[in-house]
Amino acid sequence: MEQTLFYSFLLLLIVSSSYQYFFNTARLEQLPCTKYYNKGELYYDCSNKNLITIPDLPTNIVYLNLQHNKIVDLTSYHLRNMGNLKVLDLSFNYLKSINNVSFHGLMMLQQLRLNNNKLEYDVTVFPISCLLPLKSLKLLSVQNNGNGFTNYPLKQIAHLTNLEVLQMDISMDSKTSRLLALSYTPTEVLIIQNVLQYDNINYSTTIGHLCYLYKNLTEQCVWKLFNKILNRTSIRQLHLSNIFGLNQNCTPTQAVINAPPSLQIVNLTMNNLTWIALNLSSVVSLYLVHNRLGNYLVNNSYLITQSSKLENISLSHNQIYKLNTEIFNGQPYLKHIDLSFNFLSNISFDPSHLENLQILNLTYNHIKFLNEKFMKKIVTLKKNNNTKIDLRNNPLLCTCYTVPSLKLMWQIHQHFINFSQYQCTYENGTRSKANSFDKVIPYLVQDCFKLKPKTKNTTTLTLSVSLTVFGIITAMLLSSAVVIYKQRWKLRYMYYTARMKYISKENEEENSSEYNYDAFISYSDEDRIFVIDHCIKKLEEDRNLKLCIHERDFIPGHDINNNMVTAIQTSRKTICIITRSFLESDFCMFELNMARMESTHSRNGKNILFLVFYEKLSSKDLPLVLCEHIQKQSYIQYPSNEMGIAIFWDKISDAINA
């Protein structure tokens, strides 16, 4: 009897266990999540499933992705049995609160992402001990939470002894001193985003272990600030990207980064930089991608350092059409040079001292051939190293003229990346076949030397006739060029005026008043703050004048030159804000000369051009056309004292109304 009961109990236990197993399996299969194994670890992806709470999941999960759902709170033991969990992503949800047991049992958790939720940095919704169970946590992301960040969750993280990466928002005001709490953690990476104000920042010297500093700033000159604080840290990486007007209100002396010895990587990508001057003696990698350094690098270098340990430099996407021949001097340790996606048609810098160079990336430029001088130095250089050159996606020419360069390329073809894949264009306009470049050059060399020489008499006669015709044509072209050059601004003005009259006749619309604006303000983008903050307030708001500002009043979609001429012709006066950047701008000089032509040819000789010297410039700084103008017409210098400024705006108003 007892034996029968034992076997009955055993059978019941087996049936119950089987039922529980199949029930759990069926329940897990019904979950909207995707599961998979990676190196033997269980991953669950429950993102974008419209979940409002964390479902019951297996306890052996290592990676759990719950981002982009509608989870509101973590106030119960949702995760208590997941002792193997290493990565938990709860970003982009609607979390409003966390309690002391929300992360109970997650001893192995290394990464926790709570960014982009509704959490406030407050002890009522973010208790001090809520992160206490996370003994292994290395990365914590809490940025983009709540509406205000006057209270930072620094007490909550002070006990996270293994924390290496902290991502949070912060307002860089007097409360920044609360960053002192970071001195209790070994944080190496501090990513601070959305910084709009940084006046009067005092960085604590106790944050000496800071290794990475990522900043997103807007329309501020930050170089002076960084020069003050960088040497107080052991920072290893500095990333500043997507910042409009980074050099605004700065001078080259302010824009020098005096890097501490610990700094290894500097990333200044996508900042619209037009010039840069860096003092980086210890930096190994420098990234200046997606800027506008093309004009600057013609005569300058990105470094002012005499000796450098730089190994990697990236200058891609910078509108570079020509490089200073000494741009890489003093950088003997360079291994990787990236000049891709620019407008280079020739390589002029000297590579002979770059004995450690491994990769020279020249892809996606306008290079038709490599000049013999550069190639011979490359040949000499390659005897001692394994430098690789990437010339893919360049419009190479395969002509008899380029044969010497092509022969040198063929001699060292093993040093060109994917050499056989290069394509080139023949004299008749056809392109070589793909994957045949290594066969094209020997054929071209042979074909060029097959050309039969002409007889001596025929050659002499042909040469004489050619030189005579060439001389006549050259003389005619020079004469025409001189006339055109002298009248160039008049011709351009006449062209745009005629074009605008034609357009206005087609539209058959005329303004009821003679002019649409009292004055058109011509200025460089470097001086936009002066125009936006001062000119508009003092002239439009205080003196009821109507100004034409190009970034506000130009018609989108119209040709930029047409917009400029229209602005001048529909304004009673044109005011030019003269600075060094104005004189360096082709657009600004175009506007100035069009205003001169308008005065001469359309306003019966009445001067409509008024010059405001916003910077002190000597006569040697001014182009000849501007010197001639100020000798005949009056101008005004922007004053340096308050009383003078008040009189200044009255004079500007009088000049506009005159």
Under a CB-based contact definition with an 8 Å cutoff, are residues 162 and 187 in contact?
Answer: no
Given 199, 224, 239, the domain boundary residue is: 199
At 437-470, the pLDDT tens digits run 777 878 887 777 665 444 445 566 677 788 888 8
Q: Can you tell me the distance from the alpha carbon of 68 to that of 47, in angstroms, rounded to the nearest whole number?
A: 6
Residue 123: which domain range? 28-199
Domain containing 65 — which CATH number? 3.80.10.10
In a domain, 149, yes or no: yes
Q: Which residue has the higher pLDDT, 216 or 223?
A: 223
Single-letter residue type at 135: K
Give the pLDDT band (50/70/90) at residue 634.
Answer: confident
In 141-231, which residue ranges form alpha helices assigned H by DSSP? 154-157, 223-229
Whether 474 and 572 map to the same domain: the answer is: no
Is 369's pLDDT higher than 80?
Answer: yes
Helix (H) or strand (E) holding 469: helix 456-486
* Amino acid 516: pLDDT: 92
Whether 461 and 567 map to the same domain: the answer is: no
In a domain, 83, yes or no: yes
Measure Cα distances from 205 to 155, 229, 264, 357 in Å.
19, 9, 20, 38
Q: Which residues, at least 6 apart from 475, have a Cβ–Cβ distance to it below 8 Å?
A: none
Is 568's pLDDT higher than 50?
Answer: yes
The mean of the pLDDT values for the chain is 78
3-state SS of 284-314?
CEEECCCCCCCCHHHCCCCECCCCCCCCEEE
Neighbours of 483 (CB within 10 A): 11
At 227-238, the pLDDT tens digits run 666 666 667 777
Whether 579 and 631 map to the same domain: the answer is: yes
Whether 463 and 536 map to the same domain: the answer is: no
In a domain, 72, yes or no: yes
Whether 474 and 622 map to the same domain: the answer is: no
Q: Can you tell me the distance from the alpha carbon of 654 to that of 430, in angstroms, rounded to the nearest whole number?
A: 65
Under a CB-based contact definition with an 8 Å cutoff, are residues 347 and 325 in contact?
Answer: no
pTM of the model: 0.48
Total domains present in the chain: 3
Whether 172 and 89 map to the same domain: the answer is: yes
* Amino acid 495: pLDDT: 63
In a domain, 560, yes or no: yes
Whether 587 and 473 map to the same domain: the answer is: no
* Amino acid 554: pLDDT: 86
Given 169, 199, 229, the domain boundary residue is: 199
Is 518's pLDDT higher than 90?
Answer: yes
Whether 49 and 176 map to the same domain: the answer is: yes
Is 509's pLDDT higher than 60?
Answer: no
In a domain, 556, yes or no: yes
Find where tokens 């490599």 sit: 370
Whether 81 and 194 map to the same domain: the answer is: yes
In a domain, 335, yes or no: no
Whether 468 and 540 map to the same domain: the answer is: no
At 335-351, the pLDDT tens digits run 999 999 999 988 888 88
Q: Can you tell me the distance from the alpha carbon of 333 to that of 265, in angstroms, rounded to the nearest whole number?
A: 15
Whether 481 and 603 map to the same domain: the answer is: no
Q: Can you tell me the distance from the alpha carbon of 142 to that of 193, in angstroms, rounded to the nearest whole number?
A: 11
* Amino acid 493: pLDDT: 62
Q: Can you tell me the distance from the alpha carbon of 436 to that of 439, in angstroms, rounded to the nearest whole number?
A: 5
* Amino acid 93: pLDDT: 93
Name the phi and psi angles at 240, rounded to 5.
-130, 110
Given 182, 199, 216, the domain boundary residue is: 199
In a domain, 373, yes or no: no
Domain containing 526 — which CATH number? 3.40.50.10140
Q: Which residue has the higher pLDDT, 145 or 567?
A: 567
Whether 109 and 42 map to the same domain: the answer is: yes
Q: Which residue has the higher pLDDT, 612 or 601?
A: 612
In a domain, 65, yes or no: yes
